[in-house]
Amino acid sequence: MQPLFITATGTNVGKTYTTLALIEALASRGLRVGVFKPIETGVTHTPPDATILLEACQKVNSGFRDLTPLDITAYTFALPAAPFCADAQKQIDISQILEKYDALSKRCDLLLIEGAGGLMVPITRNYMMIDLIRDLNAKTLLVTPSRLGCINETLLSIEVLKAHNIDFDWCVNLYEDQEDFEKVTQPYYDTVFPEWWTVQERIEGSADSFTASLL
């Protein structure tokens, strides 16, 4: 089954929150869901995002119960920065990420892959997060914020995905500026993207509808 890569317009938008909702929704349809956090930065001991994802996954997939958070990551770095900047010793080898992906894929029906930052975050000097999506041949879910300015961020990310011929869907994580969103952002989305949706409505509120369209 084609993996699903969860990305966003940037940091602190809601990738982990959305991935957790996906784990629950997909598991409710009987799928053995797996998780993969290829790179996590800002890690001093145990990678926090990978820990949260793995704990949720282990509740629904026994194939991941013998793994640790470091087992579902390929690289972790202490500096909270883009992987290229956090990787001071230039350790990152893309083939190691792909090998980890292959190993984890064997433990599940559908692997959810959570990126770091946005699409154009550099992993190495000439290799961006979107290049990893391409090499993994993953369908992509773009998570966008609801704060003022999100239209620009959303449109730029959509254009990048289209330019790279990436199969994608996108949604809004409705948690910032909720009271203003209906006035300052929603009118544009309603006009240009009448089928836009939120994490809260479609994944959390109607899991069957979302997973049926995904699968």
pLDDT at 209: 60
Do 75 and 88 form a contact (C-beta atoms < 8 A)?
no
The pLDDT value given to residue 47: 97
Residue 14 falls in which region: left (phi positive, over 0), alpha (psi -120 to 50) or beta: left
What is the pTM assigned to this prediction?
A: 0.95
DSSP 94: H
- In this model, does residue 115 exceed pLDDT 80? yes
Q: For the chain, what is the mean pLDDT? A: 94
pLDDT at 94: 98
Percent of the chain with pLDDT strictly greater than 70: 95
Dihedral angle, C-alpha 27, 28, 31, 35, nearest 10 ° = -10
- Which of 15, 37, 59, 162 is catalytic? The answer is 37
Of the listed ranges 68-72, 82-86, 178-182, the least confidently predicted one is 178-182
15 is catalytic: no
Examine the pLDDT at 98 and tell me if it is beyond 60.
yes
Domains and CATH numbers, the chain: 6-135+155-214 (3.40.50.300)
